[in-house]
Amino acid sequence: MAGRTSNWEDELGRWLQPFLDRLGHKARRRMCPLYVSGLIGPGDRKSVQPMAARLSPGDYDQLHHFIADGVWDAAPLESELLVQADRLVGGEDAVLVIDDTALPKKGDRSVGVAAQYASSLGKTANCQTLVSLTLARGEVPVMVALRLFLPESWTSDAARLKRTGVPVEYRAARTKPEIALAEIDRVIAAGVRLGCVLADAGYGLSAPFRQGLTTRGLFWAVGIPRHLKVYPVGVKLIWPVAARGRPRKRHIPDILSRAAEDMLANAKWQNVSWRNGTKGRLEARFAAVRVRTADGPPQRIKDMGQQHLPGDEAWLIGEHRSSGEKKYYLANLPAKTDLRTLAATIKARWICEQAHQQLKEELGLDHFEGRSWQGLHRHTLMTMIAYAFLQHRRLAQVGRKKKNQRSTAAAEPASRTPSHRRSHRSTTTSAMPVLPKKNRQKAAA
């Protein structure tokens, strides 16, 4: 790397050592820090050519080979990322946020590109869609997985899949919830500590996704559409009385399922505040009732057609925002959970949107110009490693400030005894500064 390295680059070299130990080959051990430094450092464009031009012009071919064509396995680095994420923010009070983010693209030759709905853009666009997993605690997120979703226009075209190097095991059609569950299994297998899984309605709508989380022994809170059906918690299965013909062999519920919004129509709504925002306390009106999900086996019920039988018991939560917008959620948190905890858990999902924005604006997540499956996923892996390093620095900075505050307090004589004790946990973690921004101006030639 040309020129004198800065303090953060020296620190990066030390922090990356566990990742480099897993890379093995000498050239790869040199290219990895170079690529990550290019993502973090100055410059508006974070694709291979401009990064190499800024950092080490003579290494362009090696840097391109490292990210696009090199024969090396990304799995060991992905495992190390999980280890570092757990060390930074893992714990029983951590949340794992499932979402997806769109990378707008022109043309149709880059892997996975198609006209598809992009939730982050709020419209249909020509883009790649990545399923994301974000581990977060105390408003500090660390991205731990980004996996490309392949639309039907790709999974049905073997020639396109082969041309872009999609591995055989990923060529079959998979829904976003199926991709998310596979990545959750990888996170669990790595021993990452977390307390609850969060997702928006795009995932919460899927009964197999919710059931998959429950089967894995996880707490979850997910968005749902207003029309999703649920049963009152006291629903019972009864034997239907046959007016004629043979006796019925299957139970039916004694109450029909209802849309989520109808179930909450007569509920008691309360103003709930869950955290401080940039303009003061954030609050909305919430209501919650215990229900049974309507995601059991389908069953014909008299002349009402088919309905799904009652499933597990869960919380149905409604939110009325000051803008007039209404949102609905399901959560399998314990029955004794209070309304404020339900609201705060649900609203913790916003942190992934901040992570997506920072990965794009600061680290060039959407700047990759290659077309292959391997190149795209290696680039996203490097951006996640860079992001984890910045969060490491952020947490270290806060730790130093807390240490200095304690030292100052110990050095000053107590003037009087406090009149009361604090009755809540410290909010130091939630008051952390934003990610340190590097100089975005182009380096002088």
Mean pLDDT for 192-196 is 97
Domain layout of the chain by residue ranges: 12-219+333-398, 224-332
User: How does pLDDT run across 404-441, given as a tens digit for each residue?
Assistant: 666 655 555 444 333 333 333 333 333 333 334 333 33
**Beta bridge partner(s), residue 287:** 318
Q: Above 80 in pLDDT, residue 208?
A: yes
Which stretch of 48-62, 74-88, 192-206, 412-426 has the lowest confidence by average pLDDT? 412-426
Provide, rounded to the nearest whole percent, the portion of the chain with pLDDT above 90. 68
User: How does pLDDT run across 357-406, given as a tens digit for each residue?
Assistant: 999 999 999 999 999 999 999 999 999 999 999 999 999 988 777 666 66
Residue 10's nearest CA partner among 28, 37, 32 is 37
- Name every residue whose Cβ is closer than 8 Å to that of residue 287 and which is 6 or more positions away in sequence: 264, 267, 268, 269, 270, 317, 318, 339
Q: Above 60 in pLDDT, residue 137?
A: yes
Mean pLDDT for 293-308 is 76
Mean pLDDT for 214-222 is 97
pTM here is: 0.87
Specify the residue for token string 């362009």.
60
**CA 415 to chain centroid:** 47
**CA 10 to chain centroid:** 30
Please give the single-letter amino acid code of residue 52: A
Residue that wins the pLDDT comparison between 305 and 131: 131
Locate the DSSP E strands across 39-195. 95-104, 114-118, 123-137, 140-149
Mean pLDDT for 247-276 is 85
User: How does pLDDT run across 22-73, given as a tens digit for each residue?
Assistant: 998 888 999 999 999 999 998 889 999 999 999 888 889 999 999 999 999 9
| Cα 413 to Cα 401: distance, rounded to the nearest angstrom | 20
pLDDT of residue 3: 40
Cα angle, residue 106 at apex, residues 59 and 372 outer, rounded to 5°: 45
| Cα 108 to Cα 341: distance, rounded to the nearest angstrom | 45
